[in-house]
Amino acid sequence: MSDDPAVLALRLAYTPLHELHQELGARFAPFAGYAMPVHYPAGILKEHLHTRASAGLFDVSHMGQAILEGSAAARALESLTPGDIESLRPGQMRYTQLLDEQGHILDDLIVTRLNDENGRQRLFLVVNAAAKIVDAAPNCELTILDDRAMLALQGPKAAAILERRVAGVSELGFMSARDFDISGVPLQISRSGYTGEDGFEISIPAAEAMSFAKGLLADADVLPIGLGARDSLRLEAGLCLCGHDIDATTDPVEAGLLWSISKCRREQGGFPGFTGIAEAIAHGPSRRRVGFLVEGKAPAREGADIETLEGRRIGRLTSGGFAPSLGRPIAMGYVEASAAKTGASVNLIIRGKAARASIVTMPFVPHAYHRGA
């Protein structure tokens, strides 16, 4: 079995499912230090639409998994993030960001409260770079779970498909998690994901990931999905990609992530960059993240300038591409706050030429998260 020589030359890490991706005919590309499948023989368009209509299986083992524990682990994490962590009950999850002293986003993460153990609070973290937290959380111990893989099963049929293998999983509510044991294999499953669809993320011992993934793929309603469709799905859902739509130059307010900061944390602070974020909340940010519907067929990509119809530069795109669900190009980026008006027309500069686009609210495709009965 062989890979693209250009990918191999980068000495990338492999996920526990790498051999399965090869068997399935994946085309690989470097991502987050790993050789990751971009797409399979079906192609990005079919993979994307299949996920929206049925269920897609993603390998997201490149994400960092860790457990933070300590007598006051929740409070310690709150000293680094604007999320309300202390109010979480066991099994509840929260999206938040790791901030620097200017309130800019170093990373985003999902935090799940686990059961306390021996008087110590325990938090399960899914992050892009767990090492950023190692020396930052006071009086806590961070254990990197490098012996686990992570799968994501996403789409309207995901619950029924996973329930056939893991009884009781369909009872989970959105942004909640539970431990399961399947024939001696410990699974931590959350009802969450990155596509805008209903779905689950499954943390599983690396040694068991191949067998479990093959079991899911044996279902005729499940296709393997690569990074290409993962990106177009999250873009349609209006979700930020760390390092692109959010990074060390953006704060949660201008990024449209104010919903992730609870009222008590907005008032009490106690996290890096609170002063600047409070100012942006009170008076509005200088720029805002917005969505664009692009006219024509040419996709607008990250880095393209955004101009008024008179030719004045007002911002820059951070993500863009073709939206299979809509049959047209879409994009997102930051513009001056005064220009962030829904329905306004702008020009996106694509390869030196102006393409007309209109500012729209996101998501581009409505979210279909499971909200319960």
Q: What is the pLDDT of residues 208-243, one digit of tens each?
A: 999 999 999 999 999 999 999 999 999 999 999 999
Asked if residue 106 is part of any domain, the answer here is: no
CATH code: domain of residue 295: 2.40.30.110
pLDDT tens readout for residues 126-164: 998 655 565 567 789 999 999 999 999 999 999 999 999
Does 109 have pLDDT greater than 90?
yes
Does 265 have pLDDT greater than 60?
yes
358 falls in which pLDDT band (50, 70, 90)?
A: very high
Q: Give the residue-averaged pLDDT of 256-268.
A: 97
Q: Is 253 helix (H, G, I), strand (E, B) or coil?
A: coil
The residue type found at 7 is: V
Same domain, 294 and 370: yes
Asked if residue 26 is part of any domain, the answer here is: yes
Same domain, 220 and 359: no
Same domain, 231 and 329: no
Which domain does 47 fall in, by range? 5-58+148-236
Q: Is 263 helix (H, G, I), strand (E, B) or coil?
A: helix
User: What integer pLDDT is reported at residue 136 of this predicted model?
Assistant: 61
pLDDT tens readout for residues 35-53: 999 999 999 999 999 999 9
Same domain, 292 and 192: no
Note the helical H segments in 184-314: 206-217, 227-236, 263-268, 274-283
Same domain, 290 and 373: yes
Asked if residue 332 is part of any domain, the answer here is: yes
Phi-psi region of 171 (alpha: psi -120 to 50; beta: other; left: phi over 0): alpha
Q: Which helix (H) or strand (E) holds 345?
A: strand 345-350
Q: Which of 236, 259, 275 is the last residue of a domain?
A: 236
Asked if residue 207 is part of any domain, the answer here is: yes
2 falls in which pLDDT band (50, 70, 90)?
A: very low
Q: Is 351 helix (H, G, I), strand (E, B) or coil?
A: coil
Asked if residue 335 is part of any domain, the answer here is: yes
Same domain, 314 and 183: no
Does 5 have pLDDT greater than 70?
no
Same domain, 182 and 302: no
User: What integer pLDDT is reported at residue 338 of this predicted model?
Assistant: 98
Least confident of 55-69, 134-148, 348-362: 134-148
Same domain, 182 and 298: no
User: What integer pLDDT is reported at residue 131 of this predicted model?
Assistant: 53
Q: Is 311 helix (H, G, I), strand (E, B) or coil?
A: coil
pLDDT mean across residues, the chain: 95
Does 82 have pLDDT greater than 90?
yes
Same domain, 293 and 228: no
Comparison of pLDDT for 81 and 5, the residue scoring more: 81
Q: Which of 236, 258, 276 is the last residue of a domain?
A: 236
Asked if residue 228 is part of any domain, the answer here is: yes
User: What integer pLDDT is reported at residue 200 of this predicted model?
Assistant: 98
CATH code: domain of residue 39: 3.30.1360.120
Q: Is 326 helix (H, G, I), strand (E, B) or coil?
A: coil
Pairing label, strands 345-350, 353-360:
antiparallel
Asked if residue 114 is part of any domain, the answer here is: no
User: What integer pLDDT is reported at residue 214 of this predicted model?
Assistant: 98
User: What integer pLDDT is reported at residue 1 of this predicted model?
Assistant: 37
Same domain, 152 and 54: yes
Contact 174, 191 (CB under 8 A): yes
User: What integer pLDDT is reported at residue 137 of this predicted model?
Assistant: 73
User: What integer pLDDT is reported at residue 166 of this predicted model?
Assistant: 98
Task: Give the number of domains in the chain.
Answer: 2
Asked if residue 248 is part of any domain, the answer here is: no
Q: Is 310 helix (H, G, I), strand (E, B) or coil?
A: coil
Contact 174, 195 (CB under 8 A): no
